Amino acid sequence: MIDLYEELANVAAQLDAAGIPYALVGGLAYSMWVEARATEDIDLLILPDSWPGIPALLAPLGFQELTSPLEFKALRINRLTKIQDGDALVLDFLLAEEEFADAVHQSIPLPYKDRVFRVAPVDTIIELKKRRMSAKDENDIAGLRKAKEGGNPS
């Protein structure tokens, strides 16, 4: 079984070593800001000009580009997938166009499970979740707003 946090740590180490700025968003970011919850993928916000070198950078970790870029409400996502022992892990790179570009540079180092990860500010995660607005996103937004009011940095 693929260990989500171990994979995130390995990906983050590769990005850091290559000098590629990123910010964790999505379910894992929610887990770090609010409370642990089930999620099955890794979502990273990056600058669009960072993407071209990322597939080759992460290939040694077993990630492959198996799909074309995805377009969602003015948001482009490039996806890498790792398949290991019958399990698959999706690694989504959200390309931070103008609206979210600052969030990549304003990521906040947060300790989680004996590691430190660069996580997007709460307001950025909320704005990204508003674009999809599933029932889970609505609940996540409520939890993120509560965490923000409780004094977590954003």
pLDDT band at 154 (very low <50, low <70, confident <90, very high): very low
What pLDDT, on the 0 to 100 scale, is given for residue 74? 65
Mean pLDDT of 108-122: 88
Q: Which segment of 51-60, 94-103, 114-123, 131-140 scores lowest on mean pLDDT?
A: 131-140
What pLDDT, on the 0 to 100 scale, is given for residue 151? 57
Mean pLDDT of 73-86: 89
The CATH number linked to 34 is 3.30.460.40
Is the pLDDT score of 2 beyond 50?
yes
Residue 9 three-state SS = helix
For tokens 């540079």, the residue is 105
Are the beta carbons of 61 and 44 closer than 8 angstroms? Answer: no
103: closest CA among 137, 154, 31?
154
Mean residue pLDDT across the chain: 89
What pLDDT, on the 0 to 100 scale, is given for residue 137? 83
The reply to whether 154 falls in a domain is no
pTM: 0.90
Write out pLDDT tens, residues 135-153: 788 888 888 888 888 755 4
The reply to whether 105 falls in a domain is yes
The reply to whether 43 falls in a domain is yes
The reply to whether 139 falls in a domain is yes
Total structural domains within the chain: 1
d(CA 1, CA 86) in angstroms, rounded, equals: 8
Mean pLDDT of 33-58: 93
The reply to whether 92 falls in a domain is yes
CA distances from 82 to 9, 41, 67, 91, 132 (A): 15, 11, 12, 8, 24
Residue 72 one-letter amino acid: F
What pLDDT, on the 0 to 100 scale, is given for residue 152? 53
d(CA 46, CA 70) in angstroms, rounded, equals: 15
Range of the domain at 112: 4-149
The reply to whether 126 falls in a domain is yes
For tokens 């300790």, the residue is 111
Q: Where are the alpha helices (DSSP H) in the chain?
A: 4-18, 26-33, 54-58, 98-105, 122-132, 135-149
The reply to whether 76 falls in a domain is yes
CA distances from 97 to 15, 46, 101, 134 (A): 19, 9, 6, 22
What pLDDT, on the 0 to 100 scale, is given for residue 73? 66
